[in-house]
Structure 1
């Protein structure tokens, strides 16, 4: 399972990027990923203070190449 987040530079809001974070819970339900994703996204935000996360979603690895 991956958390796919979309973040934009605070100093240049038109500069955005997609980040994929492997959360190693492929067998878990997507609901479990959503419940634990807030902590992971908050941790990523702390490690990347120049970026602002706009949204995120949980995506199974098997669907990742089709979703993006």
Structure 2
């Protein structure tokens, strides 16, 4: 199973950043994940206005960030 990993930084202090995961409910290929990620990232951004998305990627849902 894949998840969309978004790297976000605080709007008021861009030095404070973290990774957030959006697990996908369905089992999709990495290409399909990449093609369908934009609406999920947009929804997360709308729900978290204090954070700015700086990048995103698809990764295994259980993969730990390095």
Provide the TM-score with structure 1 as the length reference. 0.86
Give the strand-richer structure, 1 or 2: 2
Between the two proteins, the alignment pairs up a number of residues equal to: 65
* Structure 1 counterpart of 2:13: 12
Give the root-mean-square deviation of aligned CA atoms.
1.3
- Structure 1 runs of 4+ aligned residues shifted over 6 Å read none
Shift of 1:60: 2.0
1:44: how far off?
0.1
The CA deviation at 1:40 is 0.1
Q: Post-superposition shift, 1:51? A: 0.3
Question: Normalised by the size of structure 2, how large is the TM-score?
Answer: 0.88
Contiguous gaps of at least 5 residues in structure 1: none
Q: Secondary structure at the match of 1:43?
A: helix
